[in-house]
Amino acid sequence: MLTRTLLLQMAQNRGLETFARKNSLAARIARRFIAGETLEEIVEPVRALNQAGMTATLDYLGESITSTKEVEQVVTTYFNLMSLIRRERLKASISLKLTSLGLDIDPDLAQRNLETLVEAALPDLFIRIDMEGSAYTQKTLDIFYTTFKKRPEYQNHLGVVIQAYLYRSEADIEELIRLKARVRLCKGAYKEPPSIAFQKPDDIRANYLKLMQRLLLEGNYPALATHDLQLINAAKLFVKEHNISKDRFEFQMLYGVRRPLQLQIAKEGYNIRIYTPFGDHWYPYTMRRLAERPANLWFALQSFLRK
């Protein structure tokens, strides 16, 4: 727990981020979890996932942006990413954070940028709004609902993430089920206080299981984002017991984490999508991945030493 807390604190330290981005060892560790820093570098990793029977969701790293110039650059990158997916015929969707679209500058700016990107995603691409820390939960859902309801055709091209460790998530799931919105369910990767979030791993797992079962029964193609083998096996058993087809949901896992398990799930005939980030703002993302499972730090160091 102490290691996790320290790594999450490090994730928010801008001075450490500046140092890490100039440090070759830190960059090599990060490459375990990201597909590349440029659009050109992600094509082969995504194609390899596709050839192994998996799809991808591509996230251009960057969050808490407070410069309109940087926001414009992010939006342009996502336009270029859509063109790349189509040109290279990659089996991939898109993930994005609203703070990268200007949420900290002006919620209306983030709203407009999201609508522009969803419009560009028609008719063949899907965009998922990532969930950030709890300070952004309601803001994110408000913008999601506004955009989702704006035009009927958006509803098949826009989804959102719900974090199982938040107490509020059960009510949010019920509303999203009512709207037939596509949900990615994850445990949650930010440090949240006991007043709003479960703290014990067993409690988080139990709430995830409850929300997962609701989505499998009533949800619109839910995405079960977890590396927890107990939850993965519980999902497999639940769909079997309730005669739920494998094409009604998908598993999601992170790029560079538990690769043999990813391949096993694909070989068993389940849909599996790999969350595949790219870009040079990799430091906060990498720190959160290490915090989720500190053993990842040792694995990454071993990989570096072998090379």
Q: Please list the active-site residues.
A: 130, 184
Q: How buried is 96 (Cβ within 10 angstroms: 0-12 exposed, 13-18 middle, 19+ buried)?
A: buried
d(CA 98, CA 113): 9
First to last CA, the chain: 30
Taken in order 288, 274, 45, 59, the sign of the CA dihedral is: negative
| Strand, helix or coil for residue 293 | coil
CA dihedral 196, 143, 130, 179 (to 10 degrees): 90
| Strand, helix or coil for residue 1 | coil
d(CA 137, CA 58): 21
d(CA 295, CA 275): 20
Closest CA to 67 of 110, 121, 105: 105
